[in-house]
Structure 1
Amino acid sequence: MDQSVQQWVEDHSGEIESLAHDIFTYAEVADEENQSTRRIADYLKRHGFSLESNSGGLPTAFRAVWGKGSPTVGFLGEYDALPGLDQKPVPYRDGDAGRNGHGCGHNLLGAGSAAAAVALRYAMEAKGIPGTVVYYGCPSEEILKGKIIMANNGCFRELDAALSWHPGIVYGLGETSYLAMDSVHFFFQGKASHAAGSPEMGRSALDAAELMNVGANYLREHVPDDVRIHYAYMDGPGKPNVVPANAGLWYFIRARKRTTVDDVTSRILDIAKGAALMTGTRASWEFKTRGYETLVNHTLCGLYDTVMKQTPLPAYTGDELDFAAKLAKHVDNPAADGSIETVLPPLTGMVSFMAGSTDVSDVSQVAPTGYMKSVCAPKGFPLHSWQFAACSDSGIGWKGMCYAAKVMAQAGLALLEDPALLARVKEEFSRTAKGFVPLTAETTS
C-alpha cells in the first residue's frame, strides 16, 4: 500500500488539529456556521482548491474543488455544534450551559474530511493521477437539513464516490443504514374565550393537540415494528383560565424505508385533521425535513475494511489514558470504564440498522457513499454530551480524526488508481439505487 497520503496526514497533524480546535472554539449551531465555513474554506484554498459558496442555496455550505476530469471523488464535511454543550477539554464539567458546544464531534468531522481531501490532492499531483477531488462543506446536519437541501438542489451528482465518516466510540465500516425521517410542525388554531365564564364560546387548540397525540399513540399498534414516532409541544397557552387559541406540535416519523415513512406520515396527517374536526379548530402543518434511509454500498464498506486493517490504529499517551479514566467517572454507564476501543469490527456483508437518522443518507441515494466511524472518545460515552465534547478538543479526539483522514484519503487513492474497483462501486449503486426524487418540504393545511 502506498503510504504517501498517510504520511502526509502524519506530517501535517498539527495543522489539522489546529483546524479542528478553531471550529471547536467557534461552536456554531445549525444555519449559523459562518466562521467555521470560512476557516475550512480558507484551509482548502491555501492548499490549492478553488471555492464555490452557497452550495445548494445554503449560505454556510460550500464546494471546494481540485483537479479536473474523471473520476471525481468527494468528501463530506460537517461543522455544526449543539446548543447547551459548551465544554473545555478537561475531565470534569467546565462549561457554560447557555453556550454551544461540539458534543457530536463535528469539528473533528469537518477538519478530518478536509485533511483527507488535501492529502489525496497532493498524492494525485505527485503521482500524476488524473481526476477531481471535491470537498462539500455541509451545514446543519444536527437538524437533518443541510445535505437534504443540497441534494434536492443538485449537489453531489458529479461524484463517482462520496467518502465520509463520523466520530464515535467504536470503529465502523459503514454497514449501517440510518432511518428515513419526516420532521413536521403541526399548528392548531382555535378561538380564545374565558374558560369559566364562557367556555362554550371557545375552541381549544390545546385540546386538538392533545387529541392528536392520543390518536398517534393508538396508531403505534398498527404500524410496522421499525417505525418510531416522537413528538414535543412547541407552542402552548399561557394561563388555565383562557381557552387556548393556538397550540403547536413537532413530530418526527422514522422508519427503515422511505415508503413506510410516507405511509405513516399520511396517517398522522389524517389524525391531525380529525383532531381539528373534533374540536372545531383548524389544523395546518409544515414539513421541516424529509429524508431518505441510507443506501449501504458494500463495495465501499469492503474498501474501508481493507484500508482500516492496513492503517495503524492510534496509540495513546499516559496523559490521554488518564484523561479518559477521569472523565469516565462522570459517565453513568457501566461500559464507560475509561478504556478506549482498539479493535476493528469484522466485515459482515450484512446491513444493520441504526435507530437514528442522518442527512448523509440523502447523499447515499445520489452517489455511492462510504460512511466509516473512527474512535474519538472512550467506551460507553454518549454522543451529544459534555463528556464527548471534552474529547472533541483533546488528543484522543484528534488522533481519531487523523486516523479517519488517513483511511479516507487512502480509500480515495485506491478508487482513482483501480478503475475496476470504482466500476464495482458504481455497478452496485446502479443496481441498488431506486432513483433519487427530491422530497419537498411544503406547508399544507
Structure 2
Amino acid sequence: MKQAKATARETVRGRMGEISGWTRTIWDHGETAWREYRSAAFYVDLLRREGFEVEEGSGGMPTAFCATWGNGDGPVIGGYAEYDGIPGNCQAAEPRQAPRDGLGPHAGGHTDPHSALGMGALGGFLAAKAAMEAHGIKGRLKFFGEPAEKVRGSKPIHAAAGYYDDLDAAISFHPFYMAPYCNTVRWDTHCGVGYGVIYEFTCDTPETWMAGGGASPIPASHASPRAPGATDAMVQMYQTAKALREHVMAPGQSWSMNETILAHGQATADNIPAQMAQIMYFIRISEVEEAEHIIRGLDHFAEAAASLCHCTWRRHWVAKSRPGLPNHALARATYTNLEEVGAPQWGAEAADFARAIQSELGLEPMETPFLPMISELIDPEEAERQLRATLPPSQRHFTSDDYTEYCWHAPTVRLYLGRPALQAPPGYAYPAWAMNALGGHPPCIDPMTQVAAEVVAMTALDCLGDTGVLEAAQAEFRDRTGGGIGGGTWLAPLCDYAPPLNFRWPEYVTTARGTDWVIPS
C-alpha cells in the first residue's frame, strides 16, 4: 500500500496544472443552488473522459450526477463534489473589490469555495484510480455531483433514493471555515440537523375581503377596500417569527434560523393585492426532534399570518438532513495520512497577493499575511477538546452541513484543510470579498487543493487495501447504528419530498439583452 500511495501522490503532483485549471473554471462559473448547469456539465464531461460511467440527473435532479469506475470486485468508496456558490458574492480573483467581468456584485460567487472542494475531492479520486490501475488494486470508486449544498439540497435526496446504500466507506472534504477545524478531521461532534422549508401565501379571492351587502358588483373595484394579500402575509410571518423566536425553543438551546424572500408579487400599481409570496427558513440545530418542534412553531405563525391577511398558506420542503455520526477508525486513518502529507504551505506569489489585499484595504502589509493555523496541524482529539469547551455539555452536534447523510450509510470521515485566510490587526474584520478573491487566485487556493487530493487518495487506498482500516471502520459503524443500515439506532433518511427545483432560485439568465444575473448588473 505504501507504493500505491506514492503513486497516488505522484499523480496528484503531476496533474496539479490540470486540477488548478479545472478549479478556476468552476470558480468562474459561479453558479448557485439548483442552477449549476455549466458546472455539472463540466464535471460530467470530465469524468467520462477519465473513464467513469456517469448517470446524469441522478435522483431526479438536473444538476446532480453519479459517476462510477471499477477495477474488479472489491470495496466501494464514495466521495463527492459540490459546485454551488452564493448569490451576492460575485468577486473577481483580484486584490480589490470588483465583480467578475460583465456581472454586478449581486451575482453568484464561490465563498467556501466549493470550486476547490470539488476538485480537491475529484483529484483524490483520479489519483486513487491511477494507483489502483498501476498496482492491481480491486474495488470501485463512486463519485457524486451534489448540487445545492447551500440549501442542503441533494444529499438527503440521493440518500433516500438509495444511492449511498452500496458504499463501504465515504470521504468528505471541506476547506477550513472555523477554528479549531483547520488541518484536522472531525472526531465526536459532527454537524447537526439542517431543515429548509418554504412557506407560500396566496390570495386567491381578494374580492371577498370585507365583503357585505353593499359591496361593489365589480370584483377588485378601484373604489373597494383592497385585501392585504400575500405580501402582507409574508411580512407578518417574517415579523412574527422574529418576535416570537425565543418562545419556540427553551432557553439555552443552541440553534440558528435564517430567512430569505424567494418570490413575491404579481401586484402592480393597480389596486390589486399581491397574489403570491414565498419566504424560506433554514434551521440549523443539534437534533431532529428539536427541528420538528421549530417547524410546528413556524406552521403556527404561518396559519396566523394567513388568517390575518385573507390568504391561504402551504409549506414546501427544501431539505431535511440528518445529524452526523462519528467514525474514529476512519478519522484516525485519514489524519495519519494528513500527517504524512503535511499541512498546506503558501509561497511568495500567494503572500504577495495577500499583501496587495491588505494594502488595498488601507492596512500595513504584513511580512507574514496569512493566519498561522492554516499551515499547522491539530490532532482531532485536541480540536474536539477545544470545541467542546465552547458548547453546552448536552449539545451533541454543532453547525450544519449535509455530508452527514453519508454517515448513516457507510463509515464517513470529515476532513478539513487550511485555506488562505488573512491575519488581521487587533479589532479588524476583513470584508467578505477578500476571502472570496483568495479562493479564486490559483497560487492562493492550489496548495489546499493539492493536499486535499493527496489525502483523499491515500484514505481511499487505505479502505481498498488490506490495511485493516475498512474492517475497523465498518465494525464501528455497525456498533454505532445497532447493526448497520436498518439497525436499532440507525436513523433512516428524512427526505419525503421531491427535489425542490421549480422555486424562484436565483440564477443566470439569457435574454435579448444578453446573459445576466436575475438582479440586473
What is residue 144 of structure 2 aligned with on the other side?
Answer: 136
Q: Which residue of 2 aligns with 1:72?
A: 76
Q: Which residue of 2 aligns with 1:51?
A: 54
1:294 aligns with 2:330: no
Distance 1:127 1:70 in 2: 14
Q: Is residue 360 from structure 1 mapped to residue 403 from structure 2 by the alignment?
A: yes
> Is 1:388 aligned to residue 391 of structure 2?
no
- Deviation, 1:280, is 4.6
> What is the alpha-carbon distance in structure 1 between the residues aligned to residue 192 and residue 222 of structure 2?
46
The residue correspondences of 1:104-115 to structure 2 (distance < 5 A) are 104-115=112-123
CA contact (8 A) 2:58 2:65 kept: yes
In the aligned structure 2, how far is the partner of 1:87 from the partner of 1:21?
13
Q: Residue 241 of structure 1: CA displacement?
A: 7.5
- Among 172, 182, 193, the residue aligned to 1:180: 193
1:222 Cα deviation after fit: 4.4
Asked if the contact 2:334–2:455 (Cα under 8 Å) also holds between the matched residues in 1, the reply is yes
Correspondence list, 1:131-210, <5 A = 131-168=139-176, 170-175=182-187, 176-190=189-203, 191=206, 198-199=224-225, 202=227, 204-210=229-235
8 Å CA contact 1:105–1:388 kept in 2: the answer is no
2:416 is equivalent to residue 373 of structure 1: yes
- Per-residue CA distance 1:323-362 (angstroms, 9 max, x = gap): 122224567999x982142111222184867764322222
Note if 1:414 corresponds to 2:462.
yes
Residues 257 and 282 in structure 2, CA contact (< 8 A), matched pair in contact too: yes
Q: 1:386 Cα deviation (Å)?
A: 2.8
**What is the number of equivalent residue pairs in this alignment?**
441
Evaluate the alpha carbon distance shift between residue 203 and residue 25 of structure 1 in structure 2; reply closer, same or farther with a 3 A threshold.
closer
Residues 1:384 and 1:78: Cα distance change in structure 2 (over 3 Å): farther
- Give the distance between the partners of 1:196 and 1:249, measured in 2 at CA: 29
* Residue 497 (structure 2) pairs with residue 441 (structure 1): yes
Q: Is the 8 A contact 2:8 2:457 kept in 1?
A: yes
The DSSP-based 3-state class of the residue aligned with 2:111 is: coil
Residue 223 and residue 329 in structure 1: after superposition, are their counterparts in 2 closer, same or farther (change >3 A)? farther
Give 1:184 deviation, angstroms.
1.6
**Alpha-carbon distance in 1 for matches of 2:232, 2:50:** 59
In 2: Cα distance, 1:430 partner to 1:384 partner: 45
1:422 maps to a residue whose letter is: L
250-259 or 276-285, larger mean C-alpha shift: 276-285
Deviations 1:30-70 (A, max 9, x none): 33333322333333333332222222222222222222322
Residue 220 (str. 1) matches residue 228 (str. 2): no
The alpha carbon displacement at 1:261 in A equals 0.6
Flag the 1:281–1:411 CA change in 2: closer, same or farther, 3 A: same
Q: What are the superposed Cα offsets for residues 159-207 of structure 1, whole Å, 9 maximum, x if unpaired?
A: 11111211235323133522312222212334367999654x7355455
User: What's 1:5 paired with?
Assistant: 8
Pair member with larger Rg: 2
Q: Which residue does 2:337 correspond to in 1?
A: 307
Stretch moving more, 305-314 or 336-345: 336-345
- Asked if 1:342 corresponds to 2:353, the answer is no
TM normalised by structure 1 equals 0.87
Q: What is the percentage of aligned positions where both structures have the same residue? A: 25
Structure 2 residue identity aligned to 1:424: A
- Quote the Cα distance in structure 2 between the aligned partners of 1:195 and 1:179: 51
Provide the rounded CA distance (Å) in 1 between the counterparts of 2:287 and 2:431: 26
3-state SS of paired residue (2:74): coil
Deviates more, 1:398-407 or 1:223-232: 223-232
Give secondary structure in 2 for the equivalent of 1:432: helix
Q: For structure 2, which runs of at least 5 residues remain unmatched after alignment?
A: 210-219, 389-395, 482-489, 501-521
Question: How much does 1:426 deviate?
Answer: 1.5
Is the Cα–Cα contact under 8 Å of residues 326 and 338 in structure 1 kept in the other structure?
A: no
Structure 1 residues 408 and 331: alpha-carbon distance in aligned structure 2, compared to 1, 3 A threshold: farther
Supply the RMSD in Å over aligned alpha carbons: 3.3
Answer whether contact 2:157 2:495 (CA < 8 A) is retained.
no
Q: Deviations over 1:235-257 (max 9, x none)?
A: 26667987665443222223111
Contact 1:52-1:63 within 8 A present in 2 as well:
yes
Task: Report if aligned partners of 2:183, 2:343 keep a CA contact under 8 Å in 1.
Answer: no
CA contact (8 A) 1:177 1:296 kept: yes
**1:362-421 deviation line (CA, Å, top 9, x unaligned):** 222222221211222224699994323322232120110010010111111112224532
Quick one: which amino acid aligns to residue 351 of structure 2?
L
* Alignment counterpart, residue 230 of structure 1, candidates 247, 250, 258: 258
Which shows bigger deviation, 262-271 or 187-196?
A: 187-196
> Given the superposition, is the C-alpha separation of residues 426 and 233 from structure 1 closer, same or farther in structure 2, using an over 3 Å criterion?
same
What is the rounded CA distance, in whole Å, between the counterparts of 2:431 and 2:455 in structure 1?
25
SS of the aligned residue for 2:185 comes to coil
Matches within 5 A, 1:81-120: 81-95=85-99, 96=103, 97-120=105-128
- Are the equivalent residues in 1 in contact too, given 2:350–2:443 (CA < 8 A)? yes
